[in-house]
Amino acid sequence: MFDALRRAEAERRRKHGSVAAAPAGDRREAPAVDVPAPSPRFSPLPELTPAAPGVPPPTPSMNGSDPFPGEMLRELGILRNSIEARIEKKTKRVLMFTSAMHGEGVSTLAVAYARLLALHGTERVLLVELNARAPSLAARFGLTGREGVTHFFSSPRSLATVVQRPAHEGFDVVHVGEADPTQIQINLERSFPRLVEEALRTHDLVIVDAPPVVVCPETPPLAPFMDGVVLVVQSGRTKRETVERSLKQIRLFQGQVLGIVLNRKRYYIPDFIYRYL
């Protein structure tokens, strides 16, 4: 899924004449492969298996281009169904995407999910970047404003002063600002509730692109402010013990884990055979 999303994004940039390059951190996340990576499956935890409601077909994007391959759009729709079923279709909600370790594809999946929701055109979506250790959204979208979350945290300003609308997108973005995680850690308890309060006045869904749980102490305390947490795990790379440790940390802070996205899973037999298993 991760590789397919990056290819789709590269195609979007080519069509729009964008020259913004992905940062080095993202390049490490997506080593080149010769064959398309298969779509992931949203793997809910054992107790998270409610029936999911249907998702209406998305409308075409405003610029007439298809932001996702057909199979990818289907898988993202399944992911959306699973998430919405768990948070009971709340009118206003805050959702966090995170991982156990760096480089598991969190930012790419968070952007894709925001783009999917924006395609439906029924909700106002805000994507907030909190990963000050490996920021990527400013470069990904070619945002020119230098101020972001760290500036909002460190001064009594309105959230509207740091919100930007990327070109050719249907959702808003607040990038991290300065690559200084200490600003996030120090001001988190005081400023993040204010960020959520202001964001939900103007938006229906806030998607938080958060740093990894295990190596970033600022992430677990975010959990109680969320309506749900989605953990992104790279198949064949992240150890089970590390994933379990991440889940434990989130739950210690009273966070609700919606489930796990198993990213970049490899299939070692032809895909059509899996349909009969």
Output DSSP code: residue 162: T
Alpha helices by DSSP H, the chain: 2-16, 24-29, 70-86, 106-120, 137-141, 149-154, 181-202, 240-252, 271-274
* Three-state secondary-structure class, residue 146: coil
Distances (CA, A) of 32 to 35, 36, 106, 166, 267: 9, 10, 18, 27, 17
Q: Which amino acid is at 118?
A: A
DSSP state of 132: -
CA angle 50, 226, 182 (to 5 degrees): 145
pLDDT score of 139: 93
- pLDDT value of position 237: 84
pLDDT for 87 equals 85
- Model pLDDT, residue 274: 61
pLDDT at 271: 63
pLDDT > 50? residue 39:
no
Mean pLDDT computed over 102-129: 92
pLDDT tens, residue by residue, 208-226: 999 999 999 999 999 999 9
pLDDT tens-digit profile of 41-77? 444 443 333 333 333 333 334 344 456 666 788 889 9
Q: What is the mean pLDDT of residues 177-199?
A: 93
What Å distances lie between residue 96 and 2, 26, 250, CA to CA? Answer: 18, 19, 11
Residue 75, pLDDT score: 86
Mean pLDDT of 166-185: 93
Tell me the two tokens of residue 29.
Answer: 């996340």
Token pair for residue 217? 């102490």
pLDDT beyond 80 at 25: no
Among 5-14, 58-67, 95-104, 216-225, the range scoring the smallest mean pLDDT is 58-67
Q: What percent of the chain has pLDDT over 90?
A: 52
Which letter, b or e, does each residue of 116-126 get, where b requires 16 or more Cβ atoms within 10 Å of its Cβ? bbbbeeeebbb
pLDDT > 70? residue 4: no
* Residue 276 confidence class, pLDDT cut points 50, 70, 90: low
Question: How confident is the model at residue 228, as a pLDDT?
Answer: 94
Q: Mean of the per-residue pLDDT values for the chain?
A: 80
3-class SS of residue 10: helix
How confident is the model at residue 61, as a pLDDT? Answer: 41
Assign residue 85 a region (left: φ > 0; alpha: ψ between -120 and 50; beta: otherwise).
alpha
pLDDT at 175 over 50: yes
Task: Report the chain's C-alpha Rg in angstroms.
Answer: 18
Q: Are 124 and 202 in contact (CB under 8 A)?
A: yes
Distance CA 187, CA 209 (A): 17
Strongest mean pLDDT among 5-19, 141-155, 162-176: 162-176
Structure confidence at residue 1 (pLDDT): 60
pLDDT confidence of residue 27: 41
Amino acid at 209: D
Give all domains of the chain, ordered by start, each with its CATH number. 2-53+69-267 (3.40.50.300)
Please report, rounded to a whole number, the percentage of residues in the chain having pLDDT higher than 70.
Answer: 71
